[in-house]
Structure 1
């Protein structure tokens, strides 16, 4: 893995790192607009509670409102464990394989993040686009997350601080994304209960204090602070435990435990971090491309 990951540094040095002006949300807006231009109809704020089917293929979806929508093709970007355990409710023989594989797969680690809006501070140099602050004992972080399953006391802190005027409301202000690794949200003992907002606030302040201990001022500049815990991620995007990369990539067999893009249930396609080829925005994009091509070939 270290040899493979070293290619990232080479790619950034040789070809540069790319940033979307206005932030990653602009990518979603562009895709949305392109879809509208092609005649796609969106049903926003319409949770799907069931993928309907017969014994061999999908027949549509059922919304939380009770409305049924017929469809020969369903593309699901929910976590695969939710697709096969909650959205498809029947015990279909053809789904025994993916359900068994997913039962052996672990979700990736979770993330605790801060969204910071900072006012100008004369004499304070701008951070690089990416900044990583490592702790004195890097190994203990993994022990706390994976063995003790508790928030890391001295975490590695990642800061994304784009020098992008389109991401701030006033000139010379800054918008930061701060992320630390975290154990998954769980109220059953298989993780940490992140639903305690007071604890989340205290933990956020601890992270800010650690950043300031490295000589990077925040509190005197702070105008906006949003806290997003693994519990928030699970609640808002149905990511199990607040997993930020879908299915974990740990272990030699992990790639084989991910859901296939083309489900054994005819007409159902899976995309996202829990499906092939894995988590992270580039791989999720490839996942969508694979599905789009598969559907295109089916219809030609």
Structure 2
């Protein structure tokens, strides 16, 4: 196993339960991949994903790999309100999984009928979700993946887009919602690192997923989830070797036969699972879907993140997640502000730990925005932010690259259908028999839940072979 990220560890635990002897080689000094933790002066911050969607993926992992369920090992809480949007001329706070509550909040902010339009759109997004859930989350990438290049989002009659071409998410937002309501949809997709002006309409399935299955946080920080998975691996006798970069995948008789470490050591294996950015493997090792961003050499965006230590306690009206919209800014269109109500993140009740992040170009690519711009936008969500600021830690895509190895510090988004397959990822089984891909850079793409799902897919392919048809 190459890498100790969440997808790799999920694969390792499942394979160990199936009777395989598993060794994980990790270039860094710890496990968890992007799920890092930064601590200073009694403050603590998640340095990667701060929230979890589709928690059933990890619940299933723990059910299938041991006796103790996930909830016995970590305290998972549903975030409610789910999100607050701060627009140029309006602020709206949306509850968790209550369709009626969301509709009422939208009607109050944007006028009568806004909630109905939003729920109608999510109804169409549900149809897209139902069409893509199996092939894009629970099954290996199908050999005829080209059929996934068609967008399953149902066209709205009278939209002017019927059958003429596939609309973008931005066009759907403008035609089916309009105004500030449409900006909410754009922002929810922007937060995943997707460009609404080019993303397919099926990207509306992402906010549908959030509203349907909820948004979750792990007490003590999301790093606790990584620790729980790591400890489950240890229980299943998975061996970890840290400080051991893999430099090559060995092959013999036309199939993967092990790995070569940086120090020249060779480790034989019946199968090799790559849980890191496969672009780090030798050229030609992995076949990307034709036309995909990665296949064309396009860049995948990263994140600029500010870890803020604030004086003063967390106000009672604060929400866990706020999206601050800035559609008029070419540099920063959206800022995500996370304010967890978690004593473990702060030295005492008279202080607060806040994380601010924005999508930006990868290291070595487009210019990284000025952190001061992020602070200006975050101040719209956190009153008196600059007066309260004790210190800040800036983490650029370069820091992410150094910590995780992902080229340019890029952060992959979930796979999506449509647009000719541009947003698909390589299949979990590669062209080299015995070499498999897990984690956010493989089908079904990025995000904690999607990366975790690669564990079920890769383990199924190794245990059951090419006849494996997906998770049940």
* 1:132 pairs with 2:323: yes
With a CA cutoff of 8 Å and minimum separation of 6, indicate the structure with the bigger relative contact order.
2
TM-score by length of 1: 0.76
The 2-side partners of 1:21 and 1:296 are apart by: 34
2:251 to 47, 53, 64: 53
The verdict on how the C-alpha distance between 1:76 and 1:11 changes in structure 2, with shifts beyond 3 A counting, is closer
Q: Summarize deviations over 1:173-218 as a string: whole Å, max 9, x none.
A: 32222111111221xxx533x6xxxxx8xx2233213323566222
1:166 to 344, 347, 350: 344
The verdict on how the C-alpha distance between 1:98 and 1:213 changes in structure 2, with shifts beyond 3 A counting, is closer
1:29 CA drift (Å): 0.3
Partner of 1:88: none
- Gaps (5+ residues) in structure 2? 1-168, 173-200
Partner of 1:218: 385
SS at 2:431's partner residue? Answer: coil
Partner of 1:82: 280
1:103 CA drift (Å): 3.2
The 1-side partners of 2:223 and 2:239 are apart by: 20
Partner of 1:68: 266
SS at 1:53's partner residue? Answer: strand
The verdict on how the C-alpha distance between 1:248 and 1:83 changes in structure 2, with shifts beyond 3 A counting, is farther
Contact 2:439 2:445 in 1 (8 A): yes
Partner of 1:252: 420
CA RMSD in angstroms comes to 3.1
SS at 1:184's partner residue? Answer: coil
The verdict on how the C-alpha distance between 1:215 and 1:117 changes in structure 2, with shifts beyond 3 A counting, is closer
Q: Summarize deviations over 1:251-271 as a string: whole Å, max 9, x none.
A: 432245x21101121211101
For 1:195-274, list aligned pairs within 5 A. Answer: 203-212=370-379, 216-245=383-412, 251-256=419-424, 258-274=425-441
* 1:113 pairs with 2:305: yes
The verdict on how the C-alpha distance between 1:246 and 1:53 changes in structure 2, with shifts beyond 3 A counting, is farther
* 1:191 pairs with 2:369: no
The verdict on how the C-alpha distance between 1:57 and 1:14 changes in structure 2, with shifts beyond 3 A counting, is closer
1:285 CA drift (Å): 1.3
The 1-side partners of 2:252 and 2:353 are apart by: 49
Instruction: Return 26-35 or 287-296, whichever deviates more.
Output: 287-296
Partner of 1:21: 219
- Gaps (5+ residues) in structure 1? 86-90, 142-151, 195-199
The 2-side partners of 1:284 and 1:254 are apart by: 19
Partner of 1:146: none
Instruction: Return 26-35 or 113-122, whichever deviates more.
Output: 113-122
Number of residues paired by the alignment? 266
Q: Summarize deviations over 1:53-76 as a string: whole Å, max 9, x none.
A: 125111211222222211111111
Partner of 2:83: none
Contact 1:239 1:246 in 2 (8 A): no
Instruction: Return 279-288 or 4-13, whichever deviates more.
Output: 4-13
The 1-side partners of 2:412 and 2:405 are apart by: 13
1:281 to 419, 441, 448: 448
Partner of 1:178: 356
SS at 1:106's partner residue? Answer: coil
1:33 CA drift (Å): 0.4
The verdict on how the C-alpha distance between 1:260 and 1:171 changes in structure 2, with shifts beyond 3 A counting, is same
TM-score by length of 2: 0.50
The 2-side partners of 1:103 and 1:13 are apart by: 33
The 2-side partners of 1:56 and 1:247 are apart by: 31
